[in-house]
A and B are shown apart, each in its own frame.
Chain A
Amino acid sequence: MRETDFGAFLPRLGDALLETLLMVTGAFLFAGIIGLLLGLLLYASRPGNLLENRVVFAVLNVVINVVRPVPFIIIAIAIIPFTRLLVGTSIGAGAAIVPLTLAAAVAVARIAESNLVAVDPGAVEAGFAMGAGPARVLFTIVVPEALGPLVLGFTYIVVALVDASAVAGVIGAGGLGDLAIRYGYQRFDTLVVVVIVVILIVLVQAAQLLGDRIARAVMH
């Protein structure tokens, strides 16, 4: 154990917090949009559903099932060339958004799909009976009816991203996880580790509280 040098640590803590927030919000935005679109496509193309398409459904299914089980750290390393191509570097919080987005998007796709599938088929049928077309039914009935669970699913993703961003830190993304390991763990400074873990817990709690609130507001 050694004395923590707060004068040097606190500014780094502030930077690391910003890096984590950047990774999480950036990846959440991109993964949210991409994953939701994939989930909608999965739902709509599912055999028997409103835009049934066996080929689309099968291809998406396979792609998602291939990406999903791969540990995040391996994804992050494996797509380094792609990340470089996209953002010019593979180092830093900005670059980490790429693998985080990929990993989160497939998770969002599955979460969205399962929440959409759970929508009462009767509501969908009522939409068609009233003369709505498939796209209209999808966006004005299926999505709104699934909104509450979707919000909860997205909240889960935010929490998972906080976790994954710490892992990304290990391969040069910066952020709170990186700081905890380099400044705390490797220097045997328990206090630093504890402070950072507490901050992570507060972040996760805040995200969960917000998600619960929004979900409650949209569910009736």
Chain B
Amino acid sequence: MSLRVEAGQIFGIVGYSGAGKSTLLRTVNALERPTGGRVRVGDVEISALAGRELHRARQRIGMIFQQFNLLRSRTVYKNIAYPLKLAGLGEAQILDRVEELLAFVGLSDKALSYPSQLSGGQKQRVGIARALANRPDVLISDESTSALDPQTTGEVLDLLRRANREYGTTILLVTHEMDVIREICDRVAVMQDGRVVEHGDVFDVFAHPQHPTTRRFVSSVLHHLPSDETLRRIRARHPGRLVQLDHAPDESSDPLVSRVARDHGVGLEVVYGGVGELQSRRFGSLTIEVSGAEPAVEAAIVDLVASGRAAEVTHA
């Protein structure tokens, strides 16, 4: 597979359990070695490094974990100081930097606490502070919010977004939650069976998912597309032909629907759908039943499809 993450991006990798997301992520800091191919971070070919050079390269790559992986025998302060010590900073510099990081993650009052005294969200914030300590170019995150409740997940994602904006840190994150992708990612790759089956701009992938796996992920968070099950129930109640219409991104109400209804004298009823926002663009789709005399229905559907935003629903 070939995957390129541009500097400054937040890049998400999504896939079901066992898809190989962690394995791929861990090649980025060479915790895992590819059997073939190369992994480059900036202009360093990390997959070819060993020994001290590898250790130094890893100091430029922060990593956060699902289970936080803090050192329980050390205070919050000492946890964050650990990578700074590795990088050879003096005590005075370490003190300044740790205080700065604690302020950044909002835990200045917890410096002397031990990890066991913190909540999950606080632990992950310490994890983020630790990962950012040496001002890494890249931050990699393996399911860093999967052990957290939705509220805390939001706080952690906010923090990652701030790290990206304020420090310009490139973030590569792995998740099985499409919500996380929708919240903070610019680009996304979908993995299955050890391969990337689809990747692109988050908006494009959400708007036009190509691969069946992608479609399932998208519909898991955007409930505007009926599942096959739902579709069967809709069909039972609505005998007419169904059309799926993408919402025009920039219009508040859709003139197409009312125009087609008027021109062809057909009934258009929304039977399913939703409109929301994605990366601050309007986004969604409607499933519409077209009813009336047969030739008029056919003409209306042809007209709708010609808009480029609609397709007749033929399955289920």
Contacts and interface: CB of A to CB of B under 8 A. Distances in A.
B31 A128 contact: yes
Given A122-B65, A220-B116, A129 B72 contact: no
Given A129-B29, A130-B58, A145 B73 contact: yes
Contact of B58 (A122, A131, A140): A131
A130 B72 contact: no
Interface string A102-135: 0000000000000000001011011011111100
A142 to B, nearest CB: 10
A145 B29 contact: no
Contacts of B115: 220
Contact of B55 (A123, A133, A145): A133
A218 interface: yes
A133 B59 CA distance: 12
For this complex, into which size category does the number of interface residues on chain B fall? 20 to 34
B63, B72, B116 pick with most chain A CB within 10 angstroms: B72
Contacts, number: 65
Nearest to A147: B73
B257 interface: no
A115 to B, nearest CB: 13
Contacts of B87: 131
B272 interface: no
B69 A128 contact: no
Interface in A162-186: none
B72 A145 contact: yes
Contacts of B67: 120, 122
A219 B67 CA distance: 19
Nearest to B63: A129
B102 to A, nearest CB: 18
B53 to A, nearest CB: 10
A144 interface: yes
Contacts of B58: 128-131
A28 B82 CA distance: 32
B274 to A, nearest CB: 39
A132 to B, nearest CB: 6
11 contacts: A120-B72, A126-B69, A126-B70, A129-B31, A130-B58, A130-B63, A132-B55, A133-B51, A133-B52, A145-B73, A220-B72
Interface of A: 120, 122-123, 125-126, 128-133, 136, 140-141, 144-145, 147, 218-220
Given A131-B55, A131-B58, A131-B87, 9 more contacts: A120-B69, A122-B69, A128-B31, A128-B58, A129-B58, A133-B51, A144-B74, A147-B73, A218-B73
The 6 closest A-B pairs by CB, nearest first: A131-B58, A220-B114, A122-B69, A126-B69, A131-B59, A129-B63
